[in-house]
Amino acid sequence: MAIETRPAAPVSFETEPGRYRHWKLVTEGPIARLTLAVREQEPLRPGYELKLNSYDLGVDLELQDAVQRLRFEHPEVRCVVVTSGLDRVFCAGANIHMLASSTHSFKVNFCKFTNETRLALEDASRNSGQRYLAALNGTCAGGGYELALACDAILLVDDGNSAVSLPETPLLGVLPGTGGLTRLVDKRKVRRDLADVFCTTAEGVKGRRAREWGLVDDVVSRSRFDEATARRAEEFCAASPERSASGVPLAPLSKRVEEDRLEYSHLTLDLDRAGRHATMTLRGPREAAPPDAAGARAQGAAFWPLVAFRELDDALCHLRFNEEAIGLVLLETEGDVERVLGFDRLLDGHAEDWFLSEVRLLIARTLRRLDLTARSFFALIEPGSCFAGTLFELALAADRSYVLDAPGWQASVSVSAMNGGAYPMSHGVSRLATRFYGAPDTAREIAAEPRSYSPEEALEEGLVTVVADDIDYEDEVRIAVEERCSLSPDALTGMEASLRFPGAEGCESKIFGRLSAWQNWIFQRPNAVGERGALTLYGKPERPSFDPRRT
Amino acid sequence: MAIETRPAAPVSFETEPGRYRHWKLVTEGPIARLTLAVREQEPLRPGYELKLNSYDLGVDLELQDAVQRLRFEHPEVRCVVVTSGLDRVFCAGANIHMLASSTHSFKVNFCKFTNETRLALEDASRNSGQRYLAALNGTCAGGGYELALACDAILLVDDGNSAVSLPETPLLGVLPGTGGLTRLVDKRKVRRDLADVFCTTAEGVKGRRAREWGLVDDVVSRSRFDEATARRAEEFCAASPERSASGVPLAPLSKRVEEDRLEYSHLTLDLDRAGRHATMTLRGPREAAPPDAAGARAQGAAFWPLVAFRELDDALCHLRFNEEAIGLVLLETEGDVERVLGFDRLLDGHAEDWFLSEVRLLIARTLRRLDLTARSFFALIEPGSCFAGTLFELALAADRSYVLDAPGWQASVSVSAMNGGAYPMSHGVSRLATRFYGAPDTAREIAAEPRSYSPEEALEEGLVTVVADDIDYEDEVRIAVEERCSLSPDALTGMEASLRFPGAEGCESKIFGRLSAWQNWIFQRPNAVGERGALTLYGKPERPSFDPRRT
């Protein structure tokens, strides 16, 4: 049985405002306006229409691009108003016909990506002083309301008609899969019984009751809506400190797609499809770090950590959507350890600089995308590599790490100040602290004394999994790769999702751990996707028929 | 399509040591010995053999009975040694052929029950001073090792052969579903990369390496094994305070099973199978509470809170396994509010009494079993009911509560000291604090001033969901019931699992939230249960064939 595991047309994750089809981004001083007016006839794949401002991946990757660019290109923006360009409709959520006609793995990865976009938006609010205001000038359902939930405040027009709703359970037999249930009770802290009523009421809640239940922050008549939106946006601006007015444009990535290879300027992805694995090589900086923050800003989009991690981010999205059958990624690095550590000193020393801060935050988001990618990762640490500081995070994120024990090698891995907590995982803990969850003192000591480790020392300290000499190394890695690729892809996904996040959970990790895992389950249940399932029959005259057994 | 939703032979959850087939329980002063020697030819259902000390639900409900009885009947016990009566095999885990031949919902509920048994064992250790020692006198695989992980310490025989292992992922394409992955990294704090290697190594890890990785606490040669076990058990005894030597026997429940009704002494379950819902009525005490702890002990198994919650526990298990198609349970109470509050004063005032403490802990476990039951719960609060204190927890556990607004009714719900934190949910938070996650001050104030609330006051304070007068009440409830029962059972399960547990997560709630949700997903994937799935083909000559797509 040959299963088609590559899409007919690969998804490209790069775009820019001039090419947006569905969103419009306008900035005016400290206020940006992100307006959703989805072009019905321009879905990402043919076969469905994007009615009522419903969205697909094509719509969402424009949103993610906008959120990212606002941080780099418009640091002066302190409030982003998210609203609709349609009359009386804010957004109807993810397009149902797109979902109903998608494969299980596409659905799961689509939801994961849209979740990450909303988390990036919250990250911009928390860490970049760019607050988001959802100005719901019309009805707001499902994923539309989940987008609003990710914003800092929600204004709803009070026109006797416009409601917020999460109709997934009553109408489609699935969950609001983009963090809605978790944000409802964990972030907005809506009382759980009211949340229960709300989530089972297809028509949603509007007007005063929506405010009383905490579903929105304010309801405003249509005539006063624009004024109220403007006032709230100004309040947000007043509460956020001013930032530099000159941004850094994000140039398009340099990327060459070949049959078995993706080639970026600082990253190569080599695909072994028959072996179901890939090798991802991230290259260190070609030059020494600039001396100061101004020098870094002058390099702009060419600044090494920025370009390298934008490329890594793009490659991870590519793997998820365009190379579904690659089960294992071998992570390699190449370059000069000292140069990498030089960039780390710059990043560590200028936390107050908006640009360097944005670069750190982008690296953190990309590493979280890696943690949440449902593929196995093995780090291969060999002479010539530079698993140092920020790049050592790749080894810490990997499920295992293998070191070739070359004689005299003093810097197989290197800890820098950036491993102490600059790049928290989804559950809010650094990768070093996560690794040493059972030995917090060890984690603190290692973080407190940045230094390089020989293979032997790295093994002794527990910083790597396996060290093998040149007689054994190649065989050991080969056997591990073969074994990994022979195991059930599903069991590995569930196992990795459980082992990667010991200890704490937060709203963000609960979205992926608790909520998404349940959604994935439901997404393959006959009650949703069977012939008579609710998702399958949505919009058709037949009514769904459920297997009543509760599990 | 008529789906058979009731098992041919209903499962009974009651047993006692004289009827055990698979476990042997022997106590000798402060040390108890629980020995597993599974009778191969006595599975709960025909169709599989319980080889190598593998277990099914029938084996596990004996274990749960033993753990429970040790607390009530043998308070003098301070260490329980769990070991095997077989030569060179401790336990091979859940029986694979049983799993492979079970329905999805049975698998899910089986895992949930075995998880609860292991959590009850940890609860006994934490709260009753009964420490568990896993004496692994032979090989210990899968669920066998997960049982060991639930114990306070693990001794493994060092005979060159006996290993601990979690072979589910490499051999069966599923997860260790009884908390194994979570306990490995969260409880035993095994480093995540070592956990990754361990969980993908079918043959497991033995000897010194098992100790070095933290998988066991000690490895001991066969000749010294009994002595080492005895020494460790004595250490546990020495570290736990002595308790009363005279226990309270747990008499069999009084229970009558009729076609559409289960009748216990203090609880009735009325089934409306056509309407897919049931009414569960819990009756308050017939007499006033005894004046003191000695009076309570004298009543023994007839002590009202003990018998009422043992019956509730039994009814919940019955619903899960024997009535799969009942999607909604209407929770009612009947009785005298003041009497219920009298029992609460007794329970609250004697936390130091071992028996009253055990009763509280049993109530807490039963309420957690309710929180984790994948059915909707609506509390119906009508005159004559007694949703007071401990019984008010039922309304707090429900997804919604409806109150009939009868004129002059001053005690629709009553808060007692027992609502303040005596009965924590799986995530460690009281139901009152969970309800007011967004208003912690309100939760504290309500808990600090125990009193009764009229329907209006209860609504005003947010203690109930809906209050309706006698003109509207019946219709409102009827419509809510019909609506609920028309929704997708799967979507409701996922929705409730997300809304019931806002805020914190702990090891226990992660087992059900993160781990079990993933396991449920995997349990219906073709890679596990399809014709060529790994679970299906286990023990057969064919090799599984996987859809390689990662999701």
User: Rounded to an integer, what distance in angstroms lies between the CA atom of residue A536 and that of residue A534?
Assistant: 5
Q: Please name the amino acid found at residue A338.
A: E
Contact B550 A326 (CB under 8 A): yes
Contact B493 A518 (CB under 8 A): yes
- Matching residue, tokens 């210990």: B140
* Angstroms from A509 CA to nearest CA on chain B: 10
Query: Residue A20, by phi and psi: left (phi above 0), alpha (psi -120 to 50) or beta?
Result: beta
* Angstroms from A215 CA to nearest CA on chain B: 12
Q: Which two tokens stand for residue A248?
A: 């850094």
For residue A200, give the nearest of B483, B500, B519 by CB distance: B483
Q: Tell me the chain A residues in contact with residue B329 when contact means C-beta distances shorter than 8 Å.
A: none
Which burial class, exposed, middle or buried, applies to B336 when counting CB atoms under 10 A from its CB (0-12, 13-18, 19+)? middle
User: Rounded to an integer, what distance in angstroms lies between the CA atom of residue B73 and that of residue B25?
Assistant: 12
Q: Tell me the chain A residues in contact with residue B502 when contact means C-beta distances shorter than 8 Å.
A: 185-186, 189, 192
For residue A196, give the nearest of B324, B497, B499 by CB distance: B499
* Angstroms from A291 CA to nearest CA on chain B: 37
Q: Strand runs (DSSP E) across A145-274, as ranges? A: 153-158, 163-165, 205-206, 218-221, 255-258, 261-264, 267-272
Q: Tell me the chain B residues in contact with residue A518 when contact means C-beta distances shorter than 8 Å.
A: 493-494, 497-498, 517, 520
Helix axes A104-128, A143-150, angle to 10 degrees: 20
Contact B495 A169 (CB under 8 A): yes
For residues A271 and A278, is the Cβ–Cβ distance under 8 A? yes
- Radius of gyration of chain B from its Cα atoms, rounded to whole angstroms: 24
For residues A43 and A58, is the Cβ–Cβ distance under 8 A? yes
Q: Tell me the chain A residues in contact with residue B374 when contact means C-beta distances shorter than 8 Å.
A: 550-551
Q: Tell me the chain B residues in contact with residue A441 when contact means C-beta distances shorter than 8 Å.
A: none
Secondary structure element (H or E) that encloses residue A509, with its range: helix A507-510
The pLDDT of residue A1 is: 40
Q: Which residue of A has its CA nearest to B199?
A: A495
CB contact set of A283 (below 8 Å; sequence gap of 6+): A266, A267, A268, A308, A333, A334, A335
Neighbouring C-beta atoms of residue B48, cutoff 10 Å? 19
User: Rounded to an integer, what distance in angstroms lies between the CA atom of residue A551 and that of residue B113?
Assistant: 12
Contact A494 B175 (CB under 8 A): yes
Neighbouring C-beta atoms of residue A18, cutoff 10 Å? 6
User: Rounded to an integer, what distance in angstroms lies between the CA atom of residue B175 and that of residue A487?
Assistant: 12
Contact B195 A488 (CB under 8 A): no
Q: Which residue of A has its CA nearest to B196?
A: A399
The pLDDT of residue A7 is: 81
Q: Which two tokens stand for residue A492?
A: 């590995």
Buried b (16+ CB within 10 A) or exposed e, B120-154: bbbbbbeebbbbbbbbbbbbbbbbbbbbbbbbbbb
Q: Strand runs (DSSP E) across A111-165, as ranges? A: 131-136, 138-141, 153-158, 163-165
CA angle B459, B461, B462 (to 5 degrees): 65
For residues B236 and B224, is the Cβ–Cβ distance under 8 A? no
User: Rounded to an integer, what distance in angstroms lies between the CA atom of residue A232 and that of residue A223?
Assistant: 16
Q: Which residue of A has its CA nearest to B106?
A: A551
Put the strands of the sheet holding A452-453 in their side by side order. Answer: A387-388, A413-414, A452-453
The pLDDT of residue A449 is: 97
For residue A499, give the nearest of B196, B375, B534 by CB distance: B196
For residues A280 and A267, is the Cβ–Cβ distance under 8 A? yes
Number of A/B CB contacts below 8 angstroms equals 305
Q: Which two tokens stand for residue A165?
A: 């709703």
Q: Please name the amino acid found at residue B420.
A: G
* Angstroms from B148 CA to nearest CA on chain A: 19
Query: 3-class secondary structure for B164-182?
Result: EECCHHHHHCCCCCCCHHH
The pLDDT of residue B278 is: 98
User: Rounded to an integer, what distance in angstroms lies between the CA atom of residue B433 and that of residue A434?
Assistant: 29
Q: Which residue of A has its CA nearest to B185?
A: A502
Secondary structure element (H or E) that encloses residue B282, with its range: strand B277-283
Q: Strand runs (DSSP E) across B21-170, as ranges? A: 23-28, 31-36, 54-55, 79-84, 88-91, 93-94, 131-136, 138-141, 153-158, 163-165
Q: Which residue of A has its CA nearest to B492?
A: A169
User: Rounded to an integer, what distance in angstroms lies between the CA atom of residue B165 and that of residue B178?
Assistant: 14
One DSSP character per residue, A362-427 reads HHHHHHHHHHTSSSEEEEEE-TT--EEGGGHHHHHHSSEEEEE--TT---SEE--GGGTTSS--TT
Query: 3-class secondary structure for B178-246?
Result: CCHHHHHHHHCCCCHHHHHHHHCCCCCEEHHHHHHCCCCCEEEEHHHHHHHHHHHHHHHHHHCCCCCCC
User: Rounded to an integer, what distance in angstroms lies between the CA atom of residue A505 and that of residue B28?
Assistant: 42
Secondary structure element (H or E) that encloses residue A277, with its range: strand A277-283
Per residue in B75-120, pLDDT (tens digit) is 999 999 999 999 999 999 999 999 999 999 999 999 999 999 999 9
Contact A505 B491 (CB under 8 A): no
Q: Which two tokens stand for residue B165?
A: 């292992």
Which burial class, exposed, middle or buried, applies to B301 when counting CB atoms under 10 A from its CB (0-12, 13-18, 19+)? middle
φ, ψ (nearest 5 deg) of residue A381: -110, 105
The reported pTM is 0.97
Contact B527 A490 (CB under 8 A): yes
- Matching residue, tokens 């004046």: B291
Q: List chain B residues with pLDDT less than 50.
A: 1-2
Q: Tell me the chain B residues in contact with residue A499 when contact means C-beta distances shorter than 8 Å.
A: 181, 184-185, 192, 195-196, 199
Cα separation values, B430 from A317, B274, B311, B420, Å: 41, 35, 22, 7
For residues B484 and A200, is the Cβ–Cβ distance under 8 A? yes
Contact A491 B169 (CB under 8 A): yes
Q: Tell me the chain A residues in contact with residue B494 when contact means C-beta distances shorter than 8 Å.
A: 175, 518-519, 521-522
φ, ψ (nearest 5 deg) of residue B265: -70, -35
Q: Which of B360, B376, B332, B358 is nearest to B481 (CA)?
A: B376
Q: Which of A422, A288, A406, A420 is nearest to A364 (CA)?
A: A422
* B-interface mutation test, from A498, A510, A525, A527, most B Cβ less than 10 A away: A498
* Angstroms from A487 CA to nearest CA on chain B: 6
Contact A499 B200 (CB under 8 A): no
Q: Tell me the chain B residues in contact with residue A400 when contact means C-beta distances shorter than 8 Å.
A: 193, 196-197
Per residue in B488-509, pLDDT (tens digit) is 999 999 999 999 999 999 999 9
Contact B184 A499 (CB under 8 A): yes
For residue A499, give the nearest of B195, B522, B545 by CB distance: B195
For residue A502, give the nearest of B3, B175, B192 by CB distance: B192
For residue B491, give the nearest of A173, A188, A327 by CB distance: A173
Contact A491 B548 (CB under 8 A): no
Contact A398 B193 (CB under 8 A): yes
Q: Which residue of A has its CA nearest to B495?
A: A175
Neighbouring C-beta atoms of residue B548, cutoff 10 Å? 17
Contact B518 A494 (CB under 8 A): yes
For residue B169, give the nearest of A173, A434, A487 by CB distance: A487
The pLDDT of residue A243 is: 87
Render each residue's pLDDT in chain A as its tens digit; 551 residues: 445 667 878 999 999 999 999 999 999 999 999 999 999 999 999 999 999 999 999 999 999 999 999 999 999 999 999 999 999 999 999 999 999 999 999 999 999 999 999 999 999 999 999 999 999 999 999 999 999 999 999 999 999 999 999 999 999 999 998 999 999 999 999 999 999 999 999 999 999 999 999 999 999 999 999 999 999 999 999 999 998 879 999 999 999 999 999 999 999 999 999 999 999 999 999 999 999 999 999 999 999 999 999 999 999 999 999 999 999 999 999 999 999 999 999 999 998 999 999 999 999 999 999 999 999 999 999 999 999 999 999 999 999 999 999 999 999 999 999 999 999 999 999 999 999 999 999 999 999 999 999 999 999 999 999 999 999 999 999 999 999 999 999 999 999 999 999 999 999 999 999 888 899 999 999 999 999 999 999 999 999 999 999 88
The pLDDT of residue B177 is: 87
Put the strands of the sheet holding B387-388 in their side by side order. Answer: B387-388, B413-414, B452-453
CB contact set of B471 (below 8 Å; sequence gap of 6+): none
Q: Which two tokens stand for residue A299?
A: 């390099």
* B-interface mutation test, from A184, A209, A495, most B Cβ less than 10 A away: A495
Report DSSP state, residue A187. Answer: I
The pLDDT of residue B3 is: 57
Q: Pairing between strand B255-257 and B261-264?
A: antiparallel
Q: Which of B413, B431, B406, B410 is nearest to B421 (CA)?
A: B431
Q: Which residue of A has its CA nearest to B189?
A: A438
The residues pairing with B154 across neighbouring beta strands, listed in sequence order, are B134
Chain centroid offset of residue A342 CA: 28
Contact B521 A525 (CB under 8 A): no
Query: 3-class secondary structure for A15-28?
Result: CCHHHCCCEEEEEE
Contact B551 A175 (CB under 8 A): no
Q: Tell me the chain A residues in contact with residue B468 when contact means C-beta distances shorter than 8 Å.
A: none
Q: Tell me the chain A residues in contact with residue B327 when contact means C-beta distances shorter than 8 Å.
A: 548, 550
For residue A5, give the nearest of B188, B400, B549 by CB distance: B549
